């Protein structure tokens, strides 16, 4: 049976999934970045981890069955390369800030208010910084560069990674205002849709991994979009909540929702949009008060059918991004019950209320009404928290097909292979 491979390169490691045409997973692998040194922002480390993870994956499958490969990476991580694709400087990671006030002012003055390119961590700010380097031929996103090592193309990106660099997902082009910021348009990559075939594997990459020379390389996506795709959510109104160190929600919408004042933006997925935002609340604030083992112990004592009556807004520190955008918003975690289980329960309730407000905010701005939720991340495995969340949201909680971003990217690789007639 033909196979498609999805590769996820993240902040801690590389993960791969081999997927069959029926979306079942044939094999998976994971390799930590620290296996190759202590610099997780070194592109050579990224490529070494990807190579090791892919080699491990291929050792357990029929590599002759591989038809396509796609890559996802962290949103907003950029690097500059020369014409041969060689990095010219250390990348700027997704959370790195550009401190040049001239660059930030140029974007603020020219970018529409609804653009995701605003702010010191935006892809456009980083691209403007990198274009100053001598010999720069392209400014690429992390996933673009990894895919380029397979295709030999270091001038292509996808609509999802390009969003924070200023790409207009509705008009499907780089808008004219970007040039007005001083950006040299010729160093920005050509943008295609996630799932589009961008080329075939190079002879060198095929030889390195023992793959056929007709394997196609498919445009990938961001890690967040890949995680959504992995769950199996496909209909307007389907929501996906990620309960990691922070709380991230996304809903599939038939129209773009952009409201920077609430920390909301939209990626494009085919003819639909993926709207949402990320709160500073989540697992990080829980970990400030209890270790994981204690959270598990206390959760077993919680009755989710009753409520504490406490109105918490759990934050690890002052400042919130979504669904309230307020850099000074203080945490609200008082009064504290004497019983630790009640305190944890009140925090669960507070985070669930933030999640519900997030989905309501999206609906108020034009997104579809929430019809179902799929949950990923460590918090999704907590039964008490899940029951509290379902009570707050009032919709069906559906199982996920997979909680691995690489599986979502493998679905894009299948799409490309199908379009190329390889399935």
Q: Is the pLDDT of residue 327 over 90?
A: no
Class of domain 3-225+405-419: alpha beta
Q: What is the pLDDT of residue 253?
A: 97
**Alpha-carbon gap, residue 146 to 154, rounded angstroms:** 9
Q: Which residues of 352-389 are buried (b: 16+ CB within 10 A; e: fewer)?
A: bbbbbbbbebbbeeebbebebbbbbbbbbebebbbbbb
Q: What is the pLDDT of residue 362?
A: 96
Structure tokens at 405: 């971003």
Can you tell me the mean pLDDT for 253-277? 90
Q: Is the pLDDT of residue 375 over 90?
A: yes
Mean pLDDT, rounded, of the chain: 96
Q: What is the pLDDT of residue 54?
A: 98
Q: What is the pLDDT of residue 245?
A: 87
* 66-108: pLDDT as tens digits: 999 999 999 899 999 999 999 999 999 988 999 999 999 999 9
Q: Which carries the bigger pLDDT value, residue 378 or residue 130?
A: 130
**Alpha-carbon gap, residue 289 to 285, rounded angstroms:** 7
Q: What is the pLDDT of residue 106?
A: 97
**Could you tell me the CATH superfamily of domain 234-397?**
ATPase, nucleotide binding domain (3.30.420.40)
Is-same-fold flag (3-225+405-419; 234-397)? yes
**Alpha-carbon gap, residue 360 to 324, rounded angstroms:** 12
CA-based nearest residue to 310, from 281, 272, 353, 372: 353
Residues 6+ apart with CB under 8 A from 239: 233, 249, 250, 251, 252, 359, 370, 371, 372, 373, 374, 395
**Alpha-carbon gap, residue 134 to 122, rounded angstroms:** 22
Q: Tell me if the pTM is above 0.75.
A: yes
How do the domains of the chain map onto residue ranges? 3-225+405-419, 234-397
Handedness of CA 315, 321, 323, 326 (dihedral sign): positive
Which ranges of 276-404 does DSSP label H, i.e. alpha helix?
A: 283-289, 292-299, 340-364, 383-393
**Alpha-carbon gap, residue 238 to 251, rounded angstroms:** 6
Q: For residues 243 and 282, is the Cβ–Cβ distance under 8 A?
A: yes
**Alpha-carbon gap, residue 324 to 354, rounded angstroms:** 9
Q: For residues 384 and 342, is the Cβ–Cβ distance under 8 A?
A: no
């Amino acid at each position: 049976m033909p196979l498609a491979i999805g590769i996820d390169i993240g902040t801690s490691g590389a993960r791969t999934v081999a997927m069959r045409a029926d979306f079942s997973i044939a094999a998976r692998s994971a390799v930590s970045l620290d296996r190759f040194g202590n610099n997780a922002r070194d592109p050579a480390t990224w490529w070494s981890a990807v190579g090791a993870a892919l080699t491990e994956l291929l050792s357990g499958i029929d590599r002759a069955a591989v038809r396509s490969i796609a890559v996802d990476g962290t949103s907003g991580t950029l690097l500059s390369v020369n014409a041969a694709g060689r990095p010219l400087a250390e990348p700027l990671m997704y959370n790195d800030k550009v401190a040049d006030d001239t660059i930030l002012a140029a974007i603020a003055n020219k970018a529409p208010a609804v653009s995701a390119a605003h702010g010191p961590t935006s892809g456009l700010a980083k691209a403007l910084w990198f274009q100053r380097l001598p010999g720069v031929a392209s400014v690429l996103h992390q996933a673009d560069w990894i895919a380029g090592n397979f295709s030999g193309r270091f001038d292509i990106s996808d609509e999802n990674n390009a969003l924070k660099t200023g790409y207009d997902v509705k008009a499907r082009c780089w808008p004219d205002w970007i040039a007005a910021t001083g950006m040299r348009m010729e160093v920005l990559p050509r943008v295609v849709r996630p799932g589009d075939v961008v080329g075939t594997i190079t002879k060198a990459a095929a030889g390195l991994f023992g793959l056929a020379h007709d394997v196609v390389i498919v445009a990938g996506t961001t890690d967040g979009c890949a995680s959504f795709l992995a769950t199996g959510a496909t209909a307007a109104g389907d929501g996906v909540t990620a309960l990691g160190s922070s709380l991230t929600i996304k809903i599939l919408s038939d129209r773009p929702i952009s409201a920077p004042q609430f920390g909301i933006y939209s990626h494009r997925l085919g003819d639909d949009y993926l709207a949402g935002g990320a709160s500073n609340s989540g697992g990080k604030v829980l970990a400030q008060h209890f270790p994981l083992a204690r959270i598990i112990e206390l959760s077993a004592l919680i009755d989710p059918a009753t409520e504490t009556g406490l109105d918490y807004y759990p934050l690890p520190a002052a400042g919130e991004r979504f669904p309230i955008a307020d850099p000074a918003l203080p945490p609200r975690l008082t009064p504290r019950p004497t019983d630790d289980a009640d305190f944890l329960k009140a925090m669960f309730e507070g985070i669930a209320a933030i999640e519900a407000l997030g989905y309501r905010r999206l609906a108020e701005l034009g997104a579809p009404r929430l019809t179902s939720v799929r949950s990923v991340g460590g918090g999704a495995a907590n039964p008490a928290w899940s029951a509290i969340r379902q009570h707050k949201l009032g919709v069906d909680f559906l199982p996920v097909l997979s909680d691995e971003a690489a599986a979502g990217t493998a679905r894009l690789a299948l799409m490309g292979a199908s379009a190329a007639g390889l399935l």
